[in-house]
Amino acid sequence: MAMPLNLAPIPELFVSYESAQKLKIEAADLTSWDLSPRQICDLELLMNGGFNPLKGFLGEDDYNSVVEKMRLADGTLWPMPITLDVDEEFSQNIEIGQDIALRDREGVILATMTVTDRWQPNKANEAEKVFGADDDAHPAVNYLHNQAGQIYLGGPITGIQQPVHYDFRARRDTPNELRAYFRKLGWRRVVAFQTRNPLHRAHQELTFRAAKETQANLLIHPVVGMTKPGDIDHFTRVRCYEAVLDQYPQATTTMSLLNLAMRMAGPREAVWHGLIRKNHGCTHMIVGRDHAGPGKNSSDDDFYGPYDAQELFKVHQDEMGIEMVDFKHMVYVQNRAQYEPADEVEEGATVLNISGTELRRRLSEGLDIPEWFSFPAVVSELRKTRPPRAQQGFTVFFTGFSGSGKSTIANALMVKLMEMGGRPVTLLDGDIVRKNLSSELGFSKEHRDLNIRRIGYVASEITKNGGIAICAPIAPYATTRRAVREDIEQFGAFVEVHVSTSIEECERRDRKGLYKLAREGKIKEFTGISDPYDVPNNPELRVETENVDVDNCAHQILLKLESLGLIAA
Ligand code: PPS
């Protein structure tokens, strides 16, 4: 089947430059909505025609029809609800027919929207119909229930300006820019490869094979908007893609970055990706096993069947005007020293493969990654962002009563780690933080939580940037400690150390004389005396300080860090 080639420009939602300047000034007086990162991605593709034929965020009829039937109310195929979710408070001040300004994170007005619809969606139904299950293990369902606002606003958009990107500008193209590029180069058939992962040799082989088989040119079209939580950051990935691009024969292949916020909606997402690629001037798209899969559900089963996405795409490809190309699973055949499609390998031949999990293990332990698997330039980029654990940042988080010995052990640990060298070490001691970061705070639950969240934020930044943060507050509340753990674990290890000196012993030592004052009621809300302390259930380490010297306590922590691979043995 040959798809008709049409590289004429597609409609965008922008007004002319002059009108945009005027509108921007007028829009300054409108009620404005600060867009979330996902909404900014959606708005960009709405405005530049990536989501053609949508003219704005969906209204209620279109939304219901998309959720139920994968079609707009007029019957046009559209699988994904593109909605402007807002909180109830904001929605209450909006009249139907009113224009609102849509602003980016810095307050720049990107567009205006005439609100034609306001409604409270049935999120459970949206989750079931669009994502296949009302299960928070699905990233988009989790977003729907835990991040998206309760009310949806819909209406047409008037585009003022594109969101500003400071990174990889030359690699970002609107649909019309890509269409013009293909026209200029005389590319009559273009096969798109959608990806959110680094490309290795097998991907290079399969994409080029797909292009050869369809007699098409190849567009590597990676998503740099929002992908699956835990994915490799797009900065690293784009540097990797640049390296792989050199491996294709000249003038066959190009790369362009797509600022899409993925939903990981498997089959529906594949159809959505197809429509987006069609808008970008592509005639074909590679769809593989488990396309845009969200991983396992809360019962540890797959959300979608492995070929559901391919099947749904095939059903709709004529209507979409873009043809599916099967993703050939390529394997390395050792004795032939080349990649071959898995289903064409001679019987008995030894095939080699490295799974994603194995690759992550080798990166985290600094082990060899062979050249048959990936390109040296790609591996070297990955090693920079995923250095071995012994070179990554991490946080040691002490918790325990006042006077339990946290600061003393933390200091000893800091000195020992500094003696080893290699990574910068920062101590965020309870007292010091309260002098500098949290000087206005007291000891109510609210203030203690604020204090710990601040410490957690600083520690997460240190961890992210490859340093060692040692925190030593009382941190009496388990839920707050867990929240800090979650913040930090995105970037590196979180090692909770409970300094388990009993309250009796702390009071007996009473180094600062505070327990005496607390008993006399001169200090209120004193942890362990007149304020609660949640004993950690599962800390990485519990240290006793009664009859154990400081040096020994610090040494126990070093041994733990070593066993976790965080410091070299
Ligand atoms: S918290 O709960 O984590 O925010 O506390 P933290 O920031 O670690 O501050 C504890 C230090 O403040 C002194 N202090 C008190 N502690 C507990 N309760 C009350 N009401 C209180 N008032 C003052 C005390 O010296 C703690 O220091 P450490 O180093 O823990 O002994």
**Closest C-alpha to ligand 1, atom 22:** 526
Task: Calculate ∠ Cα 525-530-535, nearest 5°.
Answer: 100
**Are 399 and 481 in contact, with CB atoms under 8 Å apart?**
yes
**Ligand 1 atom at minimal distance to the Cα of residue 441:** 4
pLDDT, position 389: 87
264 sits in the region (left: phi over 0; alpha: psi -120 to 50; else beta) called left
Cβ neighbours for 3, distance < 8 A, ≥ 6 positions apart: 283, 284, 321, 322, 323
Report, as an integer, the average pLDDT of 309-326.
97
Atom nearest to 476 CA in ligand 1: 2
Atom number of ligand 1 nearest to Cα 407: 29
400 is in an annotated binding site: yes
User: Average pLDDT in the 360-376 region?
Assistant: 92
What separation in Å is there between the alpha carbon of 409 and the centre of ligand 1?
16
**17-159 has which CATH code?**
3.10.400.10
Q: What is the pLDDT of residues 396-419, one digit of tens each?
A: 999 999 999 999 999 999 999 999
- Residue that wins the pLDDT comparison between 370 and 431: 370
- Atom index in ligand 1 nearest the CA of residue 511 equals 31
User: Among this protein's residues, is 196 annotated catalytic?
Assistant: yes
What CATH number belongs to 169-331?
3.40.50.620
User: Sorting pLDDT into bands at 50, 70 and 90, what band is 4?
Assistant: low
Write down the catalytic residue from 142, 197, 236, 411: 197
Nearest CA to ligand 1 atom 28: 402
pLDDT at 274 exceeding the cut of 90: yes
pLDDT of residue 453: 97
Backbone φ, ψ for residue 139 (5° rounding): -55, -35
Query: Among residues 52, 64, 176, 195, which one is catalytic?
Result: 195
* Shortest-distance atom of ligand 1 to CA 475: 3
Omega into 476 within 30° of 0, i.e. cis? no
**Could you tell me the distance, in angstroms and rounded to a whole number, from the CA of residue 464 to the centre of ligand 1?**
27
| pLDDT number for residue 3 | 53
Return mean pLDDT, the chain. 95
Q: What are phi and psi of 100, to 5 degrees?
A: -125, 155
Residue 178 CA to residue 218 CA, distance in Å, equals 12
User: What is the distance between the alpha carbons of residues 210 and 3, in angstroms, rounded to a whole number?
Assistant: 16
Query: Among 147-151, 273-277, 287-291, which is the least confidently predicted range?
Result: 287-291
Residue 401 annotated as part of some ligand binding site? yes
Q: Whose CA is nearest to atom 8 of ligand 1?
A: 473
Q: Is 406 annotated as a binding residue?
A: yes
Q: What is the mean pLDDT of residues 309-315?
A: 97
Which of 475, 471, 454 shows the shortest CA–CA distance to 402?
475
Structure-token pair, residue 128: 């079931």
In the chain, what percentage of residues exceed pLDDT 70? Answer: 99
Question: Which residues have a Cβ under 8 Å from the Cβ of 539 and sit 6 or more positions away?
Answer: 399, 496, 497, 498
The total number of residues written for the chain in this structure: 569
| Range with lowest mean pLDDT among 57-66, 74-83, 138-147, 351-360 | 351-360
Tell the residue nearest (CA) to atom 18 of ligand 1: 526
403, 510 in Cβ contact below 8 A?
yes
The residue contributing the CA closest to ligand 1 atom 7 is 430
The pLDDT assigned to 402 comes to: 95
Residue 187 confidence (pLDDT)? 96
Domain assignments of the chain as residue spans, ordered by start? 17-159, 169-331, 389-563
Element (H, E) at 495: strand 493-499
Q: Which residue has the tokens 């019309």?
A: 176
Identical fold between 169-331 and 389-563: yes
Residue among 454, 474, 516, 530 to mutate when testing ligand 1 (max atoms within 8 A of CB): 474
Cα gap 466→468, rounded to integer Å = 7
- Ligand 1 — pocket residues by CB below 6 A? 402-403, 407, 430-431, 434, 443, 448, 451-452, 473-476, 512, 514, 523, 525-527, 531
pLDDT band (50, 70, 90) for residue 231: confident
195 is a catalytic site residue? yes
Q: Which of 351, 343, 403 is nearest to 523 (CA)?
A: 403
pTM above 0.90, yes or no: no
The 351-352 sheet, strands edge to edge: 338-341, 330-333, 351-352
403 is in an annotated binding site: yes
Mean pLDDT of 424-441: 93
34 three-state secondary structure: strand
User: For 439-468, what is the mean pLDDT?
Assistant: 96
| Confidence at residue 364, expressed as pLDDT on a 0 to 100 scale | 81
For CA atoms 379, 384, 386, 389, give the dihedral sign: positive
Q: Which fold has domain 389-563?
A: Rossmann fold (3.40.50)
Q: Answer yes or no: are the C-beta atoms of 293 and 264 closer than 8 Å.
A: yes
Q: How far is the CA of 403 from the centre of ligand 1 (A)?
A: 9
Residue 319: what pLDDT? 98
Residues 531-545 pLDDT 10s: 999 999 999 999 999
Q: Is 299 annotated as a binding residue?
A: no
- One-character DSSP codes across 466-480: T-EEEEE-----HHH
Residues paired with residue 498 on neighbouring β-strands, in sequence order: 399, 542
Neighbours of 352 (CB within 10 A): 11
